[in-house]
Amino acid sequence: MSGPTSDNWRVTIRRRLFFAAALFVLWATGIQARLVYLQVHRHADLEARAENQSARTIPVSAKRGDILDRHGRVLAYSVESESVYAVPPDIDDPAKAAAALCGALGDCSPKDREALVTRLRQKRAFAYVRRQVSPEQAKRIANLKLNGVDFMKEDRRFYPKRELAAQVLGFVGVENKGLAGLESAYDSQISGTQGKMLYERDARGHRFSRLERPPTAGATVELTIDEYLQHIAERELRDAVSRNRASAGTVVVMDPHTGEILALANEPTFNPNVFADSEPEQRRNRAVQDLYEPGSTFKVVTASAALEEHLFGVDQMIDASGGRIKIGSRVIPDTHDYGVLSFTDVIVKSSNVGAIRIGLQLGAERLGLYARRFGFGRALSPDFPSETAGILWDPARLDTSALASMSMGYQVGVTPLQMVAAVSSVANGGQLIQPRVVRALIREGKRHEVKPTVLGRTIDAETSATLTGIMEQVVERGTATYAQIDGYTIAGKTGTAHKLVNGRYSNTDYFASFVGFLPSKDPVVAIIVVLDSPHAVGHFGGPIAGPVFQRIGQAALRHFGVAPTLNAPSPVLVARRGMPSDDRPTNIVREATIVPVGAPGSVQVLPDFRGLSAREVVRTLTKMGLSVRLHGSGVVSAQAPPAGTSIDSGRTCDLWLERAPVAVASLAPEQ
């Protein structure tokens, strides 16, 4: 066809082709622009959304290391438990799902249900429903078969001995983080390194998973605590608090040579498995957090300073007559009118007037110096971050009245741990050893032991020996006769202090305490007992805290197999050191060695002991392998067998003691 009609048709075709091409170009340009926008400008956002729709990354808690006692007995470990989580975008009806979940859990309050609905409505890809559910709860939730709800394994901390050493161990929260005690102090070592779990889904929503980064287990912590002694300490303390109607109490048992804490008990206490059910008062570690004025136990420091500075001899007489002393306008009473006492008897009878006279002779600067040397006024142990440093005044701020108070154990705030560490330095010859409750860390099968640390010297060995002899007499014939244990020499000091209540000293509330070590010659333990506000019968440290010390001390001597040091029977039944004692559970095998008196040994010649102190003679006879039987107190006046006698090792020597006559050096009362 030709003509105008044909030309019009061609023009129409070209126009249509041009229009179609223009549309195609515009469409292609739009597609390219969209691709550029999506792949460049929104690349990160879309990638994150794709990742969120197909994969879930969930943190995986590391397995916490175990906590063991010094013999490897487990005190804390972790067990696997189920935790329930949700993927909120996958849940169609959050309110309905929350109602079903609460029904399966069985213990949701209306507030808990509302909080769960809120979590299920959020746009986040992960939300916890409930951490560490019981097996029964997990089974009921699984039977619901809710879309968007799943389980993951988490570790839950478990304390098999319940309340045993609760304040020492502390506890762990649901986030697998230590919240108190050693669980908190050593959290970075115990907790290990967190891992990650990657969950992926296919196009149909079916889930599969792979472990992206496995967690690393934490270190095992071996403690210095002895489970048996810890049990004994807690049992005796609990009984004493109940029997004396005290508001609280503390016991610390320590190895005076290494600073290792063998037992640390507090009453009241709590069960760390259900720590949320307890009160803060129950969870507090009173041994390192509570301050108290030690009263007469602090006279050990006053006496040590006086002896070390050579201001007094043990037999020097001090005027304590009148039963009171006036310091300015203040009158300080004694428990009795003792008259004139020797330096030794000031400590043995715990005379306040005598101690004040010693303190005034020392002066504030020297007494403050020795108090600092003995560890007061500072935190001592790295194992207790919550440890209180205590209160120790600058000597320049102590007037005569304050110095008098400090000399007899007031005007200074201490912790039970500080007090037992101070007396331990007397027991070990004059070294202040850092108290520790962690014995070793075990990582990947390697044991990293914590070595004892000497913080400084308090007094020299001679002063230590002299003071030990005085403290022996405190137990033998002084205020601490309730702490005596047949067959053993014990060194100790009682303390009774008015409690400060609302800024005033109470006449009804007291701290009754006893601190000492045994056996006194080669001590295996130092023990402090502090009872807060006993209200049954009496409030003095000797009859209140002394019996607790005695019972714990007896158990420790049996536990470590320590042979009697005085008046040993024949034959002597001695448990081998480190073996379980008669009080141990019956499923533990016990061993014993019969050590007969008079066993074959070298023949030795007895020296003349007359005029020597009992301590010097006992030390000499112990080195000779002989047993000792004492009669009376003071210095040796007679002995049997007599001097020059040949005697086999293992035999017994009898000593008769008398008080030696001494000159009186009277000190005039302070005006």
| pLDDT per position as a tens digit, 489-514 | 999 999 999 998 888 899 899 999 99
Strand pairing report for 317-320 and 339-342: antiparallel
pLDDT at residue 662 greater than cutoff 50: no
pLDDT digits (tens, 9 = 90+) for 125-158: 778 888 877 788 888 888 888 888 888 777 788 9
pLDDT band at 16 (very low <50, low <70, confident <90, very high): confident
Q: 657, 616, 615, 660: which is closest to 636 by C-alpha?
A: 657
CATH superfamily, domain at 227-560: DD-peptidase/beta-lactamase superfamily (3.40.710.10)
Q: How many CB atoms lie within 10 A of CB 209?
A: 15
Active site includes 296?
yes
Strand blocks (E) in 28-92: 55-60, 67-68, 74-86
The answer to whether 262 touches 232, Cβ cutoff 8 Å, is no
Q: 463, 489, 465, 487: which is closest to 477 by C-alpha?
A: 489
CA dist 639 and 254 (Å) reads 36
Q: Which fold has domain 56-223?
A: Penicillin-binding protein 2a (Domain 2) (3.90.1310)
Handedness of CA 523, 525, 531, 536 (dihedral sign): negative
CA dist 558 and 582 (Å) reads 8
CA dist 28 and 11 (Å) reads 25
The answer to whether 250 touches 512, Cβ cutoff 8 Å, is no
The answer to whether 344 touches 473, Cβ cutoff 8 Å, is yes
Res 314: pLDDT: 92
CA dist 246 and 324 (Å) reads 29
| Total residues belonging to the chain | 671
Q: How many CB atoms lie within 10 A of CB 507?
A: 9
Q: Which entry of 61, 78, 83, 296 is annotated as an active-site residue?
A: 296
Q: Report CA-CA distances (Å) from 619 to 247, 268, 550.
A: 42, 41, 23
Which of 225-229, 361-365, 454-458, 650-654 is least confident?
A: 650-654
pLDDT at residue 463 greater than cutoff 70: yes
Burial class (CB in 10 A: 0-12, 13-18, 19+), 281: exposed
Q: Report CA-CA distances (Å) from 378 to 371, 375, 419, 528, 636.
A: 11, 6, 12, 19, 42
Residue 306: alpha-carbon gap to chain centroid: 32
The answer to whether 487 touches 566, Cβ cutoff 8 Å, is yes
Which of 196-210, 332-346, 537-551 is least confident?
A: 196-210
pTM: 0.73
The answer to whether 473 touches 348, Cβ cutoff 8 Å, is yes
pLDDT at residue 582 greater than cutoff 50: no
Average pLDDT on 170-183 reads: 88
Q: Report CA-CA distances (Å) from 421 to 168, 243, 286, 303.
A: 17, 28, 15, 17
- Per DSSP, the three-state class of 658 is strand
pLDDT at residue 175 greater than cutoff 80: no
Q: Which fold has domain 598-658?
A: Trypsin Inhibitor V; Chain A (3.30.10)
CA dist 59 and 153 (Å) reads 11
Q: Is 398 left (phi over 0), alpha (psi -120 to 50) or beta?
A: beta
Q: 282, 221, 222: which is closest to 248 by C-alpha?
A: 282
